[in-house]
A and B are shown apart, each in its own frame.
Chain A
Amino acid sequence: MKETTREEALPLQRPSTEAGEVALSFLLRGGVFAAAILLGFAWAGSLMAGKPLQVPTSFAQLGSGEMDLWDHLGAAGALTLGATPIVRVAFTIPLFARAGERLQVWVALGVLLLLGVGAFFA
């Protein structure tokens, strides 16, 4: 099989996106840090309150009054954590677009599209 050099197809690093990779790093760190704070407060609060954390499974449940502050904080933390890698994929689109790498833009769009398809049919 013909070998594809990294320079030709998939360079390990390209100066055109190095700054963007650092920005993606900040995005991921910010997401997990925010999620950790929310989940930490929620966990500590639920232990002090002596009741288990509830996780809403519908939007109706959010406003039903069944959930207390700690449940809301926990749900916000889990949502932030789950959304972080997906937002990271979305942020690679302008990163690659600015670098003029159309193939990678389509790849990122494809990942988001497939995630949407998976979520729709799940």
Chain B
Amino acid sequence: MTFALLTAGGAGALLVLLGLATGCLGALVGIGGGVIIVPILSLGFGVPMSSAVATSLVCVIASSSGAASAYLRDHLVDLRLGMQLELFTVAGAVAGAFFAPLLPAAFLQVLFGAMSLPVVHGLLWRPAPELPGPGTVRHLPFGYAASFGAGALSGTLGIGGGPIKVPVMTLVMGVPFKVAAATSNLMIGVTAAASVFIYWSRGLLDLGLAAPIVLGALVGSALGARLLPRVSSRVLRWMLALVLLYLGVQMIVRGLA
């Protein structure tokens, strides 16, 4: 509430641009964009962390649903795989909500940061299928376990499932990158929706802050969904690798601090 009138004038335009950029990036690489929105809101705009997280969740729903609608229409989403991984992600999120106080958050942050480095290496250098089509989905049980872990850690690490599930689908399960990104977009909206109502009920949702970001994110996700077929998977993997590298370093710094 305190920050709502910040959104007038130049600050409002900046927030729309922030939503546009994160919505576009999220649609392209299958992440929600919270890893970018939360630090910018909290460090750049002085928004309290809990309000920044609530705002980013609303933005994640907007960008992922907007992108997923285009990907479903184009049959780029593996709906069955998405639904099955979604089941384990939500189960993990529910379990994580109960056991979060018992988890060593700092250790998990450093562990996530350290593990992101080989994933970045894999995204950059390991060959992967380019196009969707007849193929195989490998190591389903690992995918279920990773989705459960992504859900369980989402509350502790403050990240959505995308940065974990897209690399797992691509590098371990053999899903083409664009299908993984599209399927991730379908999934993360559900996880974010489950959390956003909790923040809302606790009075932490600031709509004056969220509205311009949501409007930007919707335009950005539509733009990203249009760009996805035109951008090569290699470029997209580089983009995700850079996001993961940034996130990994951020986690290590936060964990050690």
Q: Which residues of A contact B (CB under 8 A)?
A: 1, 3-7, 9-13, 17-18, 21-22, 24-29, 31-32, 35-36, 39-40, 42-43, 46-47, 50-55, 57, 74-75, 77-78, 81-86, 88-89, 92, 101, 104, 107-108, 110-111, 114-115, 117-119, 121-122
Q: Determine if B49 is an interface residue (Cβ-Cβ < 8 Å).
A: no
| A40-B211, A74-B211, A121-B98 known; A9-B140 Cβ under 8 A | yes
Q: Are A4 and B140 in contact (CB under 8 A)?
A: yes
A86 interface neighbour in B81, B83, B190, Cβ under 8 Å: B190
B97 interface neighbour in A82, A111, A118, Cβ under 8 Å: A118
- A108-B203 Cα distance, complex, nearest whole Å: 30
Q: Are B190 and A43 in contact (CB under 8 A)?
A: no
Q: Are B4 and A53 in contact (CB under 8 A)?
A: yes
Q: List 13 A-B contacts (CB under 8 A).
A: A9-B140, A28-B69, A32-B62, A36-B218, A43-B207, A53-B208, A57-B200, A57-B203, A88-B189, A108-B83, A115-B190, A118-B90, A119-B194
Q: Are B84 and A107 in contact (CB under 8 A)?
A: yes
- A29-B86 Cα distance, complex, nearest whole Å: 20
- A25-B210 Cα distance, complex, nearest whole Å: 24
Instruction: Note all chain A residues with C-beta closer than 8 A to B193.
Output: 82-86, 115
Q: Are A6 and B218 in contact (CB under 8 A)?
A: no
Kindly specify which of B39-47, B107-115, B129-137, B226-234 makes contact with the partner chain: B129-137
Kindly specify which of B71-79, B117-125, B239-247 makes contact with the partner chain: B71-79
- A27-B189 Cα distance, complex, nearest whole Å: 14
Q: Are B72 and A39 in contact (CB under 8 A)?
A: no
Q: Determine if B146 is an interface residue (Cβ-Cβ < 8 Å).
A: no
Q: Which residue of A lies closest to B139 (CB)?
A: A1
- The size of the chain B interface, using a CB distance under 8 A, is 67
Q: Are B94 and A21 in contact (CB under 8 A)?
A: no
Q: Are B207 and A21 in contact (CB under 8 A)?
A: no
Q: Are A52 and B5 in contact (CB under 8 A)?
A: yes
Q: How far is the CB of B10 from chain A (nearest CB, A)?
A: 13
A3-B136, A4-B137 given. 9 additional CB < 8 A pairs?
A1-B139, A27-B69, A35-B214, A84-B61, A110-B87, A110-B91, A111-B83, A114-B87, A115-B193
Q: Are B206 and A1 in contact (CB under 8 A)?
A: no
Q: Determine if B18 is an interface residue (Cβ-Cβ < 8 Å).
A: no
Q: Are B97 and A35 in contact (CB under 8 A)?
A: no
Instruction: Note all chain B residues with C-beta closer than 8 A to A7.
Output: 134
Instruction: Note all chain B residues with C-beta closer than 8 A to A13.
Output: 75
- A88-B189 Cα distance, complex, nearest whole Å: 10
Q: Are A114 and B94 in contact (CB under 8 A)?
A: yes
- A7-B133 Cα distance, complex, nearest whole Å: 10
- A115-B91 Cα distance, complex, nearest whole Å: 8
Q: Determine if B138 is an interface residue (Cβ-Cβ < 8 Å).
A: yes
- A69-B36 Cα distance, complex, nearest whole Å: 32
Q: Are B78 and A111 in contact (CB under 8 A)?
A: no
Instruction: Note all chain B residues with C-beta closer than 8 A to A32.
Output: 62, 65-66, 69, 218
- A5-B7 Cα distance, complex, nearest whole Å: 50
Q: Determine if B27 is an interface residue (Cβ-Cβ < 8 Å).
A: no
Q: Are A3 and B138 in contact (CB under 8 A)?
A: yes
Q: How far is the CB of B7 from chain A (nearest CB, A)?
A: 7
Contact bitstring B197-209, A, C-beta under 8 A = 1, else 0: 1101111011110
